[in-house]
Amino acid sequence: MTDGFIDRLREALGQRSVLTGADIEPRYCHDLAGNSVAQPRAVVRPSTTEEVSAVLRLCHREKVPVTTQGGMTGVVGGALPNANEIVLSMELMNAVEEVDTSSGAAVVQAGAPLQKVQERVEQEGYMFPLDLGARGSCTIGGNISTNAGGNRVIRYGMARDLILGLEVVTADGTVLQGLRKYIKNNTGIDLKQLFIGSEGILGVVTRAALRIFPAPTERQVALCALPSFAQVISILEMARRHLGGELTAFEVMWNEYYRLTVERVKGVVGPLPIHHSFYALIEASGDDADRIHADLEKLIETSMRTNMILDATLSTSNASAATIWRVRESSLELSRTFPYAARIALDVSLAIERMDEYVKAIGVRIKAIDPCAFAIVFGHAGDGNLHISLHHEHTPDKREDLEKLAYQITSEFGGSISAEHGIGVEKLRYLKMSRTQEEIETMRMLKRALDPNNILNPGRIFRM
Ligand code: ZN
């Protein structure tokens, strides 16, 4: 990259939108996992789609690699820049442009933080249902490019299911204008799907039309203690049947997760004793408080009568619902009470009927590498998604062996090595455990077609 290139960027965007040297703050080089990397050559902060297009046109012409950044809450290193790259930060394009309740759509810019979108939509009595722990910092563009999941997938689907239309700038600066606010559109290939979940390697999302829904006025939560995983599956089926559309979350915590969170994370109060094998958090939402409460109560009564659950508590207010959610949402704080470097975070998916056997296999087989290693497990069990934290404090040098073993076991169980976090650079070498050679080669063909100079997030997901 020549200095002339930086000058041309400044000409296109103005002096203040292009940062170099000491003006580049450390936050552009850190992500949530605490990884820190060398400083990129420049940070570019466009304010409009036209400016994004101008930047990419220049980068395409001069073959300059670009890392697109949102809220930097990823955990697979996908948004961390390399020293030869420029960072395209979407932080100035953060407006919620329109909330259209008649269409059930909100049009937002890609750099808008998820929580800002949620709150703006709530002002109209609506909700944008995508929700995850990083809501305050993660951005819609990041959510889209990683096809974010989170806590309400069981009812509303992943980010992919919540996108009506996208505006995208491709590698050569072409603007694909697909900001449509309706669901049905069978006019050839649905191009927006290429950019959802592809981690920014095919284009830069600049604006999105999101699906919004009337907000339920009542949200209540039950926490149940269960003796075995078979009972977890039974109560999930029962909750689906009895709560129907009211069921908005079904989360499971294994004993170690629940117990250690209550014992180690400040401010967390465990609503149930800590000795049970499994804990299921069931959230029901709707407009009729009495009905929601009665439905959850009936579910608990019936399952207690049949010994499906051993103990349970039901929220009586928003505050008590928040107390229950707090246990489940303290996973990051819990992991920080252990040495962070000796921790492997797995985000896998597999058929729920095999989860128990799978977690047991992980727990047993990691001990062959490190007899003191242990796993802490929770997950969005209703979506087939588990988050497993592997701790190996006494063998920090065995990280790769443990990681490889865990993905090997995941592959044996027919699972996916990434349910919602993506591949980035961290999981690149394991991609072939979840995707066939033919699938990966087809991904490369798409990349070559849309980004012939390989400038967009190069080296993420796979190498060319
Ligand atoms: Zn998750």
Contacts of 198 (CB under 8 A, 6+ apart): 145, 461
Round to whole Å and give the CA distance between 374 and 21.
43
317 with 231, same domain: the answer is yes
Interval between CA 140 and ligand 1 midpoint (Å)? 16
pLDDT at 2: 55
* Centre of ligand 1 from the C-alpha of residue 151, in Å: 7
Q: How much distance in Å is there from the Cα of 344 to the middle of ligand 1?
A: 15
Pair 285, 345 in one domain: no
**Per-residue pLDDT at 34:** 66
- Tokens found for residue 428: 């690149």
**Span from the CA of 435 to the centroid of ligand 1 (angstroms):** 21
Residue 38 domain boundaries: 5-89
Q: Tell me the average pLDDT of the chain.
A: 95
Distance CA 208, CA 188 (A): 20
Task: Report CA(378)–ligand 1 centroid distance (Å).
Answer: 9
Question: What whole-number distance in Å separates Cα of residue 287 and Cα of residue 195?
Answer: 35
22 and 85 share one domain: yes
Output the DSSP codes for 77-95.
STTPPPTT-EEEE-TT---
Dihedral pair phi/psi, residue 377, rounded to 5°: -125, 135
Instruction: Return d(Cα 425, Cα 152) in angstroms, integer.
Output: 27
| 348, β-bridge pairs | 386
CA 332 / ligand 1 centre spacing (Å): 11
Pairing, β 42-44 against β 18-19: antiparallel
User: Amino acid identity, residue 286?
Assistant: G
Interval between CA 420 and ligand 1 midpoint (Å): 7
**Domain boundary at 332, 360, 385, which?**
332
CATH code at position 243: 3.30.70.2190
Name the DSSP class of 439.
Answer: H
Distance 407 CA to ligand 1 centre (A): 18
> How many angstroms does the Cα of residue 421 sit away from the middle of ligand 1?
8
CB 176 within 8 A of CB 53: no
| C-alpha of residue 335 to centroid of ligand 1, in Å | 14
Q: Is the separation of the CB atoms in 60 and 173 below 8 Å?
A: yes
Q: What's the CA gap between 225 and 217, in Å, rounded?
A: 27
Distance, CA 387 to ligand 1 centroid (Å)? 7
Alpha carbon of 350 to ligand 1 centroid (Å): 14
**Angle 152-154-157 from CA coordinates, rounded to 5°:** 75
Ligand 1 centroid–CA 386 distance in Å is: 8
- Ligand 1 centroid from CA 263, angstroms: 22
Residue 358, strand partner residues = none
Helix 355-365, helix 399-412: angle, nearest 10: 150
10 Å CB burial of residue 133 (0-12, 13-18, 19+) is middle
What is the spatial distance between Cα 418 and Cα 201, in angstroms, rounded to a whole number?
A: 17
- Residue 448 C-alpha to ligand 1 middle, in angstroms? 31
Residue with tokens 């997030």: 457
Span from the CA of 61 to the centroid of ligand 1 (angstroms): 39
pLDDT of amino acid 318: 84
Q: What is the pLDDT of residue 33?
A: 63
Domain boundary among 308, 332, 356: 332
- The string of DSSP letters for 409-427 reads HHHHTT-BSBSSS--TTTT
Q: How far is ligand 1, taken at its centre, from the CA of residue 99, in Å?
A: 27
Give percent of the chain above pLDDT 70. 98
pLDDT of 463 above 80: yes
| Span 368-396, pLDDT tens digits | 999 999 999 999 998 999 999 999 999 98
d(CA 419, CA 386): 8
Q: What are phi and psi of 66, to 5 degrees?
A: -130, 135
Q: Is residue 448 part of a domain?
A: no
Domain annotation covers residue 455? no
Separation of CA 129 and ligand 1 centre (Å): 14
The answer, yes or no, to whether residue 417 has pLDDT greater than 90, is: yes
Rounded to 5 degrees, what are φ and ψ at 244? Answer: 50, -125
Distance 302 CA to ligand 1 centre (A): 29
pTM of this prediction? 0.92
* Residue 152 Cα to ligand 1 middle (Å): 10
Ligand 1 centroid to Cα of residue 229, in Å, is 19
Same domain, 101 and 209: yes
Q: What is the pLDDT of residues 218-263, one digit of tens each?
A: 999 999 999 999 999 999 999 999 999 999 999 999 999 999 999 9
Contact 31, 80 (CB under 8 A): yes
Other beta carbons within 10 Å of 124? 14
Q: Are residues 254 and 299 in the same domain?
A: yes
How far does residue 381's CA lie from ligand 1's centre (Å)?
10
pLDDT band at 342 (very low <50, low <70, confident <90, very high): confident
Do 103 and 208 fall into the same domain? yes
What is the pLDDT, as a whole number, of residue 454? 98
Q: How far is the CA of 149 from the centre of ligand 1 (A)?
A: 7
Q: What CATH number is attached to the domain comprising 68?
A: 3.30.43.10
CA of 327 to the centre of ligand 1 (A): 14
Whether residue 21 lies inside any domain: the answer is: yes
Read off the pLDDT band of 46 (50, 70, 90).
very high
Q: Do 309 and 379 lie in a common domain?
A: no
Decide if 442 is inside a domain: no
| Strands, sheet with 18-19, edge to edge from the N-terminal-most edge strand | 18-19, 42-44, 86-89, 66-69
Q: Are 121 and 199 in the same domain?
A: yes
How many structural domains are present in the chain?
A: 4
What residues contact 289, with CB distance under 8 A and at least 6 apart? 217, 218, 220
Find the 22 Cα to ligand 1 centroid distance in Å: 36
CA of 148 to the centre of ligand 1 (A): 9
CATH (domain of 190): 3.30.465.10
**269 and 299 belong to one structural domain:** yes
Q: Is residue 464 part of a domain?
A: no
Residue 56 in contact with residue 66, Cβ under 8 Å?
Answer: yes
Q: How far is the CA of 230 from the centre of ligand 1 (A)?
A: 22
How far is 441 from 461, CA to CA, in rounded Å? 12
